[in-house]
Amino acid sequence: MHQPIRDNLEEYLKGSARKVPQDFEAHLEACDDCASELRSFQAQAAMLRSLQSSGDVEPRAGFYARVMDRIELDGRASMWAVLLQPNFGRRIAMASAVLVVLLGTYFVTAESSEPLVPTAPEAAFTSGQAEQASFDQDSLQQQRQRDAVLVNLAAYHE
């Protein structure tokens, strides 16, 4: 929409044609686009005016008392509604996230200060080897003891 029309659109739509400068009409005659858009705006304004209340509509007597009842009811409800508020939920989520981080940090630091326990497969393999070695050594010693007993027994028979 061109400037002369745009500048005076509200006055024109209000029906104050005499407040509209002469170049407004002149431009409308020359510019079909502006004339067409202006007609659309006029139809739109008429459509919006259909929302005007017809006649006097007033609430029934005792409206104030009913409003106060509603306020009392809403006041009671709003105490519980705090729990459902998005802000409250966001704060709860933030607090939970902080708690998780703190707990995570605590467990990580607590674990690192404990005696080392192999957890990785390689560490488990190494520890397995060590256990096997110590087991082999024990059975070798037992074998030696058994041989010694046999030697003693043999010597006794001789």
Partner 1 sequence: MKGLTGVLPFPVSSSEPRAKTRVDHRNTEEAALVRRIQAQDELAFREIVERYQAKVFSIIFGILRNHNDAEDIAQQVFSKIYFSIKNFDFRSSLLTWIYKITVNECYDYLRKKRVRKLVYESDFSEEDAQRMQNIDTAIDQRPAVDTQLAQRDLAIKLLEKLSPEDRSLLLLKEVEGHSVEELAQMTGMNENTIKVKLFRARQKLLKASQRLRRAPGQNVA
How many residues at the interface with partner 1, by CB under 8 A? 41
Of 17, 18, 30, 41, which one interacts with partner 1 (CB under 8 A)?
41
Among positions 4-23, residues that touch partner 1 (CB under 8 A) are 6-7, 9-11, 14, 21
- Angle at which helix 22-30 crosses helix 32-49, to 10 degrees, equals 110
d(CA 135, CA 73): 79
Is residue 76 part of the contact set for partner 1 (CB under 8 A)?
Answer: no
Is residue 28 part of the contact set for partner 1 (CB under 8 A)?
Answer: no
Which residue, 77 or 116, has its beta carbon nearer to partner 1? 77
d(CA 41, CA 5): 12
Is residue 152 part of the contact set for partner 1 (CB under 8 A)?
Answer: no
Is residue 61 part of the contact set for partner 1 (CB under 8 A)?
Answer: no
CA distances to 36, 107, 116 from 112, rounded to whole Å, are 78, 9, 8
**Stated length of the chain:** 158
Place of tokens 């739109």: 44
Which residue, 48 or 155, has its beta carbon nearer to partner 1? 48
d(CA 82, CA 93): 15
Q: Which amino acid is at 145?
A: Q
| Residues contributing to the site for partner 1 (CB under 8 A) | 1-3, 6-7, 9-11, 14, 21, 31, 33-34, 36-37, 40-41, 44-53, 56-60, 63-64, 66-67, 70-71, 74-75, 78
